[in-house]
Chain A
């Protein structure tokens, strides 16, 4: 398991942190895969969308914890970050959309909206396009926990 802790304010001080963190962690976890380069590229894309979502939607202050672990072909990304009720609701609504029958339709609508893309688009993409299992929960200290479980490599390929 790898875990990174940082202040949410520091994380959100620079948009490039999403790219840097996702690229760094993807490189760290890509060893011993069927294809380390393909895996790293996909993992980085998925994690970046999660981090960009947190960058846009989070509570005022507190600690961001990002931990990643692997069990066989399943990769689990866990983000714990400050979240007030409004923040939690955004994530909760996105998860609700994913659990419905028309998740793919909602994802495409969000992807091609004429307005600014919704902050939850990244979560919809992970659920629909990456087949990720997403879950949220309340954590202590006014924070919430967002978990994504992904299978990015097909061992039969």
Chain B
């Protein structure tokens, strides 16, 4: 359902399967009666529920006290009037006021719990937030930048544009963008506070000014509509279980006529010689491993379809290969070594892989490193680049 006037719009949805009532948008009514349809829907939703009832306010960006009073008192009425019912409120860390405000409900009844929860949007986040991974992320950016510097121009990035780098990670790509393209405005958003802390520190240490590093959920950003000429989102659709939600947001914040630029991998196409067969086997297994964690490391060539289905026009796609012959074979080998540590280490362990599998799995990475450093060898890591224009 949608309720809307000139400045405020909010929605509510009920997912019967999850016993979850969700509120989205901006909720600043003048009178509680303006919420009567929403409260009725809440009443109706909960009428057939026993046990735990979830109220999800993760995507509720604004809420005044009139709305809070109406919703909070209804929740209190529910738990006080129904002995068979508990209520759990889920808030978002992205919306600064929400957790603090709703947390007071816990003080009113022990049948109400409140928690801040965003991580389910990002199945891979706990893996890439590992501080050991920062070095490899920097090396990856260094090696891909050699290709992307020119590709970005071909895909329409020009100096003086309003640019957003969504899922900016540790922010090193944004620094390179700032130096190379001098955007008029550069917003770099990520969902990892530790990565943003690192990004801000690096920018300060390097004397880089003009990058606005912001905390946010790429699937539901606080950024306003139609703001940016060029929006980048690199290696991120693949770590997200619902990439279409991110694309929808990228579309929203992009100006009509502006472009979205995404890069993604197809890890099973990583290659190397000698020992190509072992390498091939391992990277096929990488794809299965990521799939286990609801991530699609094979998304690269699917980017064109995703952009077209996301409403973009003039969609172009291509690929480039980061290789051991680009001038930094040791850097390439370092990347593979970190993949080995992560994929054949923490991730394989969490999946419950047995020792024999892990040994063979790890060997493929070792063989890829061997190929990268072999004087007559060759190792490659393919990346797909796609961009599309938001219709005017």
Contacts and interface: CB of A to CB of B under 8 A. Distances in A.
Interface of A: 15-16, 18-20, 23, 31, 34-38, 40-42, 44-45, 48-49, 52, 108, 111-114, 116-117, 121-122, 125, 129, 152, 157
A44 B66 CA distance: 16
Interface string B198-232: 00100000000000111110000111000000000
Interface string B1-25: 0000111100000000000000000
Interface string B105-120: 0011000000000000
Contacts of A52: 28, 64-66
B212 A117 contact: no
A38 B96 contact: yes
A152 B94 CA distance: 14
Contacts of A122: 64-65
Contact of A38 (B65, B69, B108, B215): B215
A31 to B, nearest CB: 8
A111 B8 contact: no
A112 B215 contact: no
A44 B7 CA distance: 14
Given A18-B28, A112-B76, A41 B69 contact: no
A45 B97 CA distance: 8
A19 B72 contact: no
- The 6 A-B pairs of least Cβ separation, nearest first, read A15-B30, A37-B214, A16-B7, A42-B96, A37-B222, A117-B69
Contacts of B196: 35
Q: Which of A34, A112, A125 has the most CB of B within 10 A?
A: A112
28 contacts: A15-B30, A16-B6, A18-B28, A19-B8, A19-B28, A19-B62, A35-B214, A36-B187, A36-B212, A37-B216, A38-B94, A38-B222, A41-B61, A41-B95, A41-B97, A42-B97, A45-B63, A48-B62, A49-B64, A108-B108, A111-B104, A112-B76, A117-B65, A121-B69, A122-B65, A125-B65, A129-B97, A129-B100
A36 B188 CA distance: 11
Interface string B55-67: 0000001111110
A157 B5 CA distance: 37
Contacts, number: 86
B101 to A, nearest CB: 7
B97 to A, nearest CB: 5
Interface of B: 5-8, 26, 28, 30, 32, 61-66, 68-69, 72-73, 76, 94-97, 100-101, 104, 107-108, 187, 189, 193, 196, 200, 212-216, 221-223
B215 A16 contact: no
A40 B223 CA distance: 10
A34 B215 CA distance: 10
Contacts of B108: 108, 112
A20 B107 CA distance: 33
A116 B104 CA distance: 19
Contacts of A16: 5-8
A91 B193 CA distance: 39
Contacts of B63: 45
A29 B154 CA distance: 36
A112 B189 CA distance: 36
Given A15-B30, A111-B68, A37 B215 contact: yes
Nearest to B30: A15
A38 B97 CA distance: 9
A152 B97 CA distance: 10
